[in-house]
Amino acid sequence: MQSRYDVLIVGGGMVGASLACALLPVAEQLALRVAVVETEPLPAPGEPVFQPSYDARSTALALGVRAPFEAMGIWDTLAQHLTPIRHIHVSDRGHFGVTRLDAEREQVPALGYVVENHWLGQVLLSRLAQDGAPWIDFIAPAEVVDLDNRADGCRVSVLRQGATEQFDAALVVMADGGRSQLREKIGIGYRQSSYEQHALVANVSLDRPHREIAYERFTDSGPLALLPGEDLDGQPRCGLVWTLPEDQIEAVMALDERAFLARLQQRFGFRAGRFVRVGERFHYPLKLVLAEEQVRAGLVVLGNAAHALHPIAGQGFNLAFRGVTALADLIIERKRAGQALGDLHALLEFEQARRSDQFRTIQFSDRTMKLFTSHQPMLTLARDIGLTALDLCPLGKTLLARAAMGLDQPAPRLQ
């Protein structure tokens, strides 16, 4: 371990570890030194071991993440426990509007994939543990308690084993999540607005196979999403994201299993089958959050530390991952050219491109949520006509599918 790095990543979660894995294939060639500071210890080197858990949380990956993960050398391992999404069914409960997307029609292997978060994290960290030396140092368990960003780089204070250590880095990447205390400590403000809703997340079992269909079901109290997952003990399993008004969440959380399944069935309907089991339930408030600064000289803010959006379209991680690959491309390009990694002008150009992607993605999720929770008769009619027209328009469905798959964005190079 050394005291100076080209890139120091704060946070070894899915976003931070993805960035480290994106830089790993070129690290030796470019003599690129990377540090990851994480509050949890790094797993021991070795092949990741999948440990099934009924209550594991999941993430929907767009098809567009596959090529970058292949470039990182982790796709084949990751694919051992992925569930493909081959069909997407969008409907408006109690109304006639419906749209269907199909992977075969779009001539792709899948519209996306569902992965358990602990499996994705384990695969990423195992890749770093096995192949990161000597170019990637994992400083853990440890916490970044302060940083001073300057034109010539950053000085980072790290608390480890009760002692504070100092590190220098040409570029610091903050990927320490939406509750980043460091973001607030260094004075990065953020704008937020509450949706006055909570997302209830859980795993549910069906009485029949899910047939690799993802459902987005809009109701008058909020959308319901059902993501296909791996079977467990021979029982089909899906990930549920149920958006509920703040004044209803506690009552629904308090229901026993039988009453909860009955309420869910009543809201969702029987299109996917009967719900026969629900696991542990969690919930969190839904807010639209955007950091006012996402770059400074020698500093980039990524992932949930930079933005949080409504889960209605399942684009949170995919948006963050596009930021990861865009930043990796910038680091590789500037390192190869012998240019300063923390140059403010270059980082501002990066931020401008990311802001455009964030604006487009956030606006889509925000407006869709507001449109489909409106009770105005004319808006209700318009949205159902729109869904039906879209279902009858092959070009429109292809454009929507490409956006959902993340194929409407420039492909990362990562080389």
Main-chain phi, psi angles of 217, to 5 degrees: -115, 115
| Mean pLDDT, residues 67-93 | 94
CA 370/CA 354 separation, integer angstroms: 24
Let me know the angle formed at the C-alpha of 138 by 134 and 139, rounded to the nearest 5 degrees.
Answer: 130
Whether 407 has a pLDDT exceeding 80, the answer reads no
| Mean pLDDT, residues 254-282 | 96
Whether 409 has a pLDDT exceeding 90, the answer reads no
- Stretch among 34-48, 209-223, 253-267 having the lowest mean pLDDT: 34-48
Sequence-ordered list of residues with C-beta below 8 angstroms from that of 56, at least 6 positions apart, any chain: 116, 117, 118, 119, 203
CA 232/CA 211 separation, integer angstroms: 15
Element (H, E) at 68: helix 66-72
Residue, of 230 and 401, whose pLDDT is higher: 230
- Of all residues in the chain, the percent with pLDDT exceeding 70 is 95
| Mean pLDDT, residues 15-42 | 95
CA 169/CA 148 separation, integer angstroms: 10
Whether 361 has a pLDDT exceeding 90, the answer reads no
**Quick one: pLDDT at residue 373?**
67
pLDDT band at 16 (very low <50, low <70, confident <90, very high): very high
pLDDT band at 372 (very low <50, low <70, confident <90, very high): low
| Mean pLDDT, residues 387-397 | 77
Whether 375 has a pLDDT exceeding 70, the answer reads no
3 state DSSP class of 176: coil
CA 168/CA 8 separation, integer angstroms: 8
pTM of the model: 0.93
Whether 343 has a pLDDT exceeding 70, the answer reads yes
> Beta strand pairing status for 190-206 and 163-174?
unpaired
Residue, of 258 and 91, whose pLDDT is higher: 258
**Quick one: pLDDT at residue 345?**
96
Under a CB-based contact definition with an 8 Å cutoff, are residues 173 and 300 in contact? yes
Listing DSSP states for 132-146 in one string gives: -TTTEEEE-S-EEEE
The per-residue pLDDT of the chain, averaged, comes to: 90
CA 366/CA 311 separation, integer angstroms: 9
Report which residue type is found at 124. L
CA 342/CA 6 separation, integer angstroms: 9
pLDDT band at 412 (very low <50, low <70, confident <90, very high): confident
| Mean pLDDT, residues 383-390 | 74
Main-chain phi, psi angles of 270, to 5 degrees: -110, 15
pLDDT band at 241 (very low <50, low <70, confident <90, very high): very high
Whether 96 has a pLDDT exceeding 80, the answer reads no
Distance of CA 361 to the CA centre of its chain: 13
Q: Where do the domains of the chain lie, and which CATH numbers do they carry?
A: 4-192+287-405 (3.50.50.60)
**Quick one: pLDDT at residue 370?**
66
